[in-house]
Amino acid sequence: MGSDQSIRSACAISNPNIAFIKYWGNRDAHLRLPSNGSISMNLEGLTTRTQVTFDPSLESDILVLNGRRLTGAAFSRVCLHLERVRHMAGINTYAQVTSENDFPTGTGIASSASAFAALTLAATAAAELHLSERELSRLARSGSGSACRSVPAGFVEWQVGEGDHDSYAFSIAPPDHWDLVDCIAVVSREHKPTSSTEGHSMADTSPLQAARLAQVPAHLDICRRAILEKDFDRLAEIVELDSNLMHAVIMTSTPPVLYWKPATIEIMGQVQSWRKSGVPACYTIDAGPNVHVICQASSAEKVFQGISEIPGVNAVLRAIPGGAARLV
């Protein structure tokens, strides 16, 4: 299919990101317009690498993730995103998408964020669309909300916006602004029972969501300032509070969801007691059981060792502030 018979290909890499102030709930699920703004840090050391090849000889799109050809829901979501790119570029050629993560998929280590950031960049480049960072971020958002934050570099804010045109993410500080380390305790490699897409759609069923949303603007201000001023104590307090608020909403939605495992709670307790004893560390948990322990580089070794010794922790991954999604 397609009038242009040439094969066009591009490859992009992207890092996942960890939200310090979480995105939970959409006001428009179709466009993935969030109910609230969010702030995150890209995670250098964890990488998604995605090659997109528009090939006129293909009779359908093809998705190969970590060496396995996928059909099902993940495939449909990628096809829908490719459809958006084809529409923008005015082409109708099918594509082969080959993507690899060097970290476990679907365990709360935001693989959909790096997946849709890399896919957006590779697909638009292969389709010879030359989009600005802002346009790439908006487009990535429509594939997976948090993906819009993996497009710009370093410490990133996703402004809630008024609509599709101004709901995008931008960098608030470059990766080398602050030498934070994310020690990620992998508690389970199982695929999570409730996807974040389902979770977002249930957020408003929790009686706590409205209270959480009312707090977010103030929390964004505190978090942004803590990052810009490199104030770890302030950051730690707001990051843990915000993570607990999101999980309180998740646990009180209909139907309720509990992502935590015993080891998740054990780590939360340990991190709080380390902080009381003067170690700059705090926890935050996405939609899964794994725990991100954010610390300063000077205490990363100690935190890494400490987490590794907790029963139920299968592995500890390490990441530092990461760059923007980029073509390779």
197 binds ligand PMV (CB under 6 A): yes
111 binds ligand PMV (CB under 6 A): no
Per-position x/- string for 230-269, each x denoting binding to ligand PMV as judged by CB under 6 A, each - no binding: ----------------------------------------
Among 47, 112, 142, 270, which residue sits at the site for ligand PMV (rule: CB under 6 A)? 112
103 binds ligand PMV (CB under 6 A): no
Among 222, 245, 281, 287, which residue sits at the site for ligand PMV (rule: CB under 6 A)? 287
Burial of 69 (0-12, 13-18, 19+ CB in 10 A): exposed
∠ Cα 309 311 316 (to 5°): 55
Contact of 186 with 107, CB cutoff 8 Å: yes
Token pair for 59: 């009779």
196 binds ligand PMV (CB under 6 A): yes
Determine the 3-state secondary structure of 260 from DSSP: coil
Give counts: helices (H), strands (E), the chain.
Answer: 8, 16
Among 13, 15, 22, 257, which residue sits at the site for ligand PMV (rule: CB under 6 A)? 22
Token pair for 154: 């370093």
Cα distances (Å, whole numbers) of residue 177 to 6, 146, 188, 228, 320: 43, 22, 32, 8, 11
Integer Cα distance of 143 and 77 in angstroms: 7
145 binds ligand PMV (CB under 6 A): yes
- The least distance separating ligand PMV from the CB of residue 174, rounded to whole angstroms, comes to 20
Stretch that binds ligand PMV, among 92-100, 130-138, 193-201, 304-312 (CB under 6 A): 193-201
146 binds ligand PMV (CB under 6 A): yes
Q: Nearer Cβ to ligand PMV, position 66 or 308?
A: 66
Q: Where are the beta strands (DSSP E) in 31-94?
A: 33-34, 38-44, 48-54, 62-65, 68-70
35 binds ligand PMV (CB under 6 A): no
286 binds ligand PMV (CB under 6 A): yes
Determine the 3-state secondary structure of 200 from DSSP: helix
Q: What type of residue is 197? A: T
155 binds ligand PMV (CB under 6 A): no
Which residues, including other chains, have CB under 8 Å from residue 202's CB and lie 6 or more apart? 253, 254, 255, 257
Q: Nearer Cβ to ligand PMV, position 22 or 224?
A: 22
Contact of 266 with 312, CB cutoff 8 Å: yes
Per-position x/- string for 38-77, each x denoting binding to ligand PMV as judged by CB under 6 A, each - no binding: x---------------------------------------
- The least distance separating ligand PMV from the CB of residue 199, rounded to whole angstroms, comes to 7
- The least distance separating ligand PMV from the CB of residue 235, rounded to whole angstroms, comes to 16
**Site residues, ligand PMV (CB under 6 A):** 19, 22-23, 38, 110, 112-113, 144-146, 196-197, 200, 286-287
